[in-house]
Structure 1
Amino acid sequence: MTRKAAVHVRRVYEEPAQDDGTRVLVDRVWPRGLTKEKAGLDEWCKEIAPSTELRKWYSHDPQRFEEFGRRYRSELKEPERAQALGRLKETAKDGALTLLTATKEPEISQAQVLADLLGG
């Protein structure tokens, strides 16, 4: 029986939690006003972020989240993103993984799509 990975989604601006495990920022752009020290990251995986075109089209419109997720999952099949997703899958096997994003609504972000894919 395989153990289900603990995958969390949090805002990068929140204080790190004790159960975070490995903390990975999954945004393409560095969060405004945040120092690397304050972020407390283990990795910045910007290559897994959605394309600029998809991000601009989506614009965090809750009505578009389902379609955004479908399009983003399609983008994750591209070689560079697929390789990054594979690395995140390996990280999740080793213990807790927290996907971080700067968005105000992480539950409708690429981090949530990734967490769902990774078993969170």
Structure 2
Amino acid sequence: MSLLIVGVILRGAWPIFKESMEVLLESTPPGISTSHVAATIEAVPGVKNVHDLHIWAVEPRLIMLTSHVIIEQRCTPLTLLQTIQHRITTDFGIKHMTIQLETECCDPDDIHCDLRKLTEQHHEAQTFAHHH
């Protein structure tokens, strides 16, 4: 009799346990395909590439998204961002997202494109400050 009760409890608890593990492991929620979300974003005119795309659930009804999106330089960033957000919300029901828009580097010496420039400038400033 006690094994039957244990079986009933386990059967009822399993879906809750499974859902909890998916949330704790920050796995992509069931029914959402990361590649499909990326393809939807890349289909927006002006988007060149999507990378560092992460989708996870904080709780079963609260899905989060973060991504980096490379856009064409001629685009209006705010308009493009609003279009991307609208499509993600409409197509996938994701309302909480952080999207970082990026452009390709036109000047390889720009700090934005090569962070070594920033550390070199910092090192030069420290060296100059320590010489008497």
TM-score, normalized by length of structure 1? 0.27
Q: Which structure dedicates a bigger proportion of its chain to strand?
A: 2
Higher relative CO (Cα under 8 Å, sequence separation at least 6) belongs to: 1
Query: In terms of Rg, which structure is larger?
Result: 2
TM-score, normalized by length of structure 2? 0.25
